[in-house]
């Protein structure tokens, strides 16, 4: 298959990022391929979450955070002063380490985003709720209790609900920051299966400290070290035949 520019939904070029005086990303470049899963791995504090959060301008919420370089999303500059930040965060959704459902019903969690975007029709909202919950592999477990509190769900169910909530506003990209690190192995495996299922229609970028997870589900892997992209490539290559000795030492568990 020939790879063209348009296969990259996000294009990151020479990005430097500072929190106040402290630089956290150094000259990071990488593509995010459309309809693929890209994993970011590397030791704690190496900048994985920072890089992920910069893709939908979540770092704007951090005082004193400054970015230089270029980040394109479908050809437009994510950091242009004209960019509609809320629009970016709708099209590039985010799932966090700790599931964070709103303290409201399952239905209202999923319909919240569409309602904010002006969808009022009850039938249309019901349809979005069902479609999003089916897509996040939660429908069968919750269809008979949509009006019960989301907080009564298990951790794994809550995380799939957060994914349904992100899907409800029809994003193109879903960013996941260690989405399974608070979950048991069964719940983790459901989220992994779901990520692989979502890849057909969406683009997924997942931060994980679990290298088995990265090698199981991702197509591309970026190995980060001390704020730099130490190595980026196809996942098989990174895990079976890394180019850098540092990558080899990390994936074989010699540090981290």
CB of residue 249 to Mg ion, shortest distance in Å: 21
C-beta closer to ligand ADP: residue 79 or 225: 225
Per the CB < 8 A criterion, the answer to whether 195 and 213 are in contact is no
Say how far apart CA 125 and CA 129 lie, in whole Å. Answer: 6
**130-167 core/surface letters (b: 16 or more CB in 10 A; e: else):** bbbbebbbbbebbeeebeeebeebeebbbbbbbbbbbb
C-beta closer to ligand ADP: residue 4 or 44: 44
Among 8, 49, 215, 218, binds Mg ion (CB under 5 A): 49
Listed ranges 40-48, 102-110, 132-140, 246-254: which one lies at the site for ligand ADP (CB under 6 A)? 40-48
Q: Does 47 bind ligand ADP (CB under 6 A)?
A: yes
Q: Does 50 bind Mg ion (CB under 5 A)?
A: no
Contact flags string 56-85 toward ligand ADP, x per CB under 6 A: ------x-----------------------
Number of residues that bind ligand ADP (CB under 6 A): 11
List interacting residues with ligand ADP (CB under 6 A): 19, 24, 42, 44-50, 62
């Amino acid at each position: 298959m020939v790879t063209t520019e348009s296969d990259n939904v996000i294009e990151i070029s020479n990005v430097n990022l500072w929190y106040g005086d402290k630089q956290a990303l150094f000259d990071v470049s990488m593509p995010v391929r459309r309809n693929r899963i890209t994993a970011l791995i590397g030791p704690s504090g190496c900048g994985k979450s920072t890089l992920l959060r910069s893709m939908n301008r979540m770092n704007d919420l951090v005082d004193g955070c400054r970015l230089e370089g270029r980040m394109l999303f479908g050809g437009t500059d994510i950091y242009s002063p004209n960019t509609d930040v809320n629009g970016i965060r709708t099209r590039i959704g985010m799932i966090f380490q700790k599931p964070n459902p709103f303290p409201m019903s399952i239905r209202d969690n999923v319909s919240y985003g569409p309602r904010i975007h002006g969808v009022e029709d009850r039938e249309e909202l019901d349809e979005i709720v069902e479609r999003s919950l089916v897509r996040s592999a939660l429908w069968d477990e919750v269809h008979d209790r949509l009006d019960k509190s989301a907080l009564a769900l298990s951790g794994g169910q809550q995380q799939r609900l957060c994914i349904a909530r992100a899907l409800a506003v029809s994003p193109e990209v879903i960013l996941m920051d260690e989405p399974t690190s608070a979950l048991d192995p069964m719940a983790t495996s459901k989220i992994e299966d779901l990520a692989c299922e979502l890849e057909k229609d969406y683009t997924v970028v997942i931060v994980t400290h679990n290298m088995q997870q990265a090698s199981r589900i991702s197509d591309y892997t970026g190995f980060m070290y001390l704020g730099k992209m130490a190595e980026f490539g196809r996942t098989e290559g990174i895990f079976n035949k890394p180019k850098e000795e540092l990558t080899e030492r990390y994936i074989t568990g010699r540090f981290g």
